Amino acid sequence: MTSRHLSLLKPSGHLTLGNLLGALRPMAAAQDDADCVYGVADLHAMTITHDPVVLRARTAELATLLLAAGLDRSTLFVQSRVPAHAQLAYLLECVTTTGELNRMIQFKEKGRGVGSTRASLYTYPALMAADILLYRPARVPVGDDQRQHVELTRDLALRFNRMYGEVFTIPEIVTPAAGARVMDLQDPTSKMGKSAADTAGVIQLLDSPDVVRRKVSRAVTDSDTGSEAVRIDQDRKPGVTNLVEILLACGGSTAGLTTYGALKKAVTDAVVAELEPLQQRYADLAADAAYVSQVYATGAARARELAAPVLAAAEAAIGL
């Protein structure tokens, strides 16, 4: 049986080079030997104050970017078009305790004790559990930041099965080999993130070559000079290390590079070359919105088919 890969990305900002190297590229590679189900998690982008117009635009941009990044052999869907996600989330809330939700790091950091916190920021871990359990993946690869969510997903599935009957497959948590982790060019000790308020150190996938050049040329380095200055040294040279790793991940090489100016030029060229075909495909797809809609409609239909028996079994078991 082919294994199933599942991944949902939240449209909470413009995708970055970090998303490309750390998520989209491995997602594309997985298509060779797995049944890949990938989604745009629009419901998850509503746990904090949001603007409906912006949400819709970001959802469309992300949906188009996933296709432009080569995920054209996957089942692609937008989460809200598959109502089973929200429906199963409610059933799972019925086996989740407030104690468990109080312990979730995101809620502790962003919402606890703040009167205006949306209830959805509190309950979204149940939605995330539904996102996973509906598709019965045998394994869920998670980075450290997502581990707590998948552990909760397992706990909820086990509890549901124990209380109401065997409905859910319990996913195994697997830790992928440390992948590319792209750091912010202005603050190389923190991740290049799509929700960053300041984008000076964040390369977005749709940045023009000029913008890429400007951001890379202003990247933080250090005051080393000499023929050994351009090298990987995570502890002492985080900025230069990040640039070198970006260069290598984009198919470049440090051979012959001795100055930071030369390094930055090589990084700019490699990143621009990496983004160019993706941006070209994005422009073509954006001009053909009917095609993108068709792909997502077909994907949502398949996702609904995959999810339906799991939701039906859960409903029957719990007494609906």
Distances (CA, A) of 86 to 1, 229, 311: 28, 52, 10
**Residue number, 91 or 244, with CB nearest to ligand AMP:** 244
Residues 10, 194, 215, 264: which is the catalytic one? 194
Closest approach of ligand AMP to the CB of residue 295, in Å: 21
- x/- string (CB under 6 A) for ligand AMP, residues 198-237? ----------------------------------------
Closest C-alpha among 293, 138, 276, 304 to residue 210:
276
> Within positions 285 to 304, which residues make up the interface with ligand AMP, using CB under 6 A?
none
Size of the site for ligand AMP (CB under 6 A): 15
Distance CA 320, CA 309 (A): 14
Distance CA 55, CA 46 (A): 8
**Residue number, 193 or 299, with CB nearest to ligand AMP:** 193
Distance CA 310, CA 316 (A): 10
Distance CA 226, CA 48 (A): 48
> Within positions 139 to 178, which residues make up the interface with ligand AMP, using CB under 6 A?
143
Which position among 48, 173, 180, 248 is part of the footprint of ligand AMP (CB under 6 A)? 180
Which of the ranges 131-139, 163-171, 191-199, 287-295 carries the binding residues for ligand AMP, by CB under 6 A? 191-199
Distance CA 267, CA 209 (A): 12
Distance CA 34, CA 74 (A): 9
Whether 191 sits among the annotated catalytic residues: the reply is yes
Closest approach of ligand AMP to the CB of residue 39, in Å: 12
List of long-range contacts for 92-95, beta carbons under 8 Å, 24+ apart: 92/126, 92/129, 92/130, 92/133, 92/156, 92/160, 93/123, 93/126, 94/318, 95/156, 95/159, 95/160, 95/163
Which of the ranges 105-113, 185-193, 230-238, 293-301 carries the binding residues for ligand AMP, by CB under 6 A? 185-193
**Residue number, 88 or 182, with CB nearest to ligand AMP:** 182
**Residue number, 152 or 314, with CB nearest to ligand AMP:** 152
Taking CB under 6 A as the rule, does residue 95 contact ligand AMP? Answer: no
**Residue number, 143 or 309, with CB nearest to ligand AMP:** 143
- x/- string (CB under 6 A) for ligand AMP, residues 7-26? --xx-------xx-xxx---
Q: Can you read off the two tokens belonging to residue 50?
A: 């949001």
| Residues in contact with 211: Cβ distance below 8 Å, sequence separation at least 6, in sequence order | 204
With CB atoms as reference, the residue minimizing the distance to ligand AMP is: 22
Taking CB under 6 A as the rule, does residue 191 contact ligand AMP? Answer: yes
**Strand blocks (E) in the chain:** 3-9, 34-40, 75-78, 139-141, 172-174
Positions marked catalytic: 110, 191, 194
Interface with ligand AMP by CB under 6 A: which residues? 9-10, 18-19, 21-23, 143, 180-182, 191-194
